[in-house]
Copies of this chain bind each other. A is one copy, B any other.
Amino acid sequence: MNYCSQCGAPVIQTIPPGDNLPRHVCRQCELIHYHNPKIVAGCIPEWEDQILLCRRAIEPRSGFWTFPAGFMEIGESTEQAAIRETKEEAQADVEIAALHAVLSLPHIGQVYLVFRGRMLTPAYEAGTESLEVRMFPLSAIPWEQIAFPVVHEALRRYVGDVTNGRFQLHLASLPDRLLA
């Protein structure tokens, strides 16, 4: 950030009075610009014993596999965001079954909220951001071809829950070394 989005004057980095972190502050209109973590809403769509994964058509990690996930928008709930991403990327209709994981990525300022979604029908198709969408039995998840460590981690914990016969909410933070 170089300029104030409100008045267009240059911003400086400084710790505002009463604060304890450096912020971008406008020298002209004095507005403080805060930058906060973004929510990525994701969904693991389930149909019988299989889950639906998408092969990314866009960078980063084009060609690699993920469950539907994307940045939450203003005006929707976390569940609506997960349902929308599933529709956009996999043309599939789900209802939210439960929250599976809250995975923080502190160093890049993202929080993944990953839901389990019950597919309403076994219909799916690649959306514009996907090269291919496919149903996988858990024994055939393409572990070596997963797009991001956070997706790998969410799927690993999902398979663990299925194996244990008990779903739980996973709270975790991904260390930098996993994401380098």
A interface residue numbers (CB < 8 A to B): 1-8, 10-11, 18, 21, 33-39, 71-80, 96, 98-99, 102, 104, 106-107, 109, 111, 113, 128, 169, 171, 173
**B107 pairs with A78, CB closer than 8 A:** no
Q: Is the CB of A74 within 8 A of B3?
A: no
Tell which of B5, B37, B71 touches A74, judged by Cβ atoms closer than 8 Å.
B37
Q: In the complex, are the beta carbons of B3 and A36 less than 8 A apart?
A: no
Q: Is the CB of A99 within 8 A of B3?
A: no
* Known A-B contacts A1-B5, A8-B3, A171-B99; A74 and B111 likewise in contact (beta carbons under 8 Å): no
Whether the pair B111, A78 counts as a contact (CB closer than 8 A) is: yes
Q: Which B residues touch A37, using CB under 8 A?
A: 39, 72-74
Within the oligomer, what is the number of copies of this chain? Answer: 2
| Contact of A21 with B171 in the complex, beta carbons under 8 Å | no
The docked-state distance in angstroms from the alpha carbon of A132 to that of B169 is 34
Q: How far is the CA of A110 from the CA of B96 in the complex (A)?
A: 20
Which residues of chain B come closer than 8 Å to A113, judged between CB atoms? 102
Complex Cα gap A113–B37 (Å) = 13
Q: A36 touching B38 by the CB < 8 A rule?
A: yes
Separation in Å of the A158 CB from the closest CB of chain B?
16
- Interface contact A169-B99, CB-CB below 8 Å: yes
List the B side residues contacting A79 at CB < 8 Å. Answer: 104, 171, 173
Nearest Cβ in chain B — how far from A163, in angstroms?
21
Choose one: B35, B75, B99; the contact of A109 (CB below 8 Å): B75
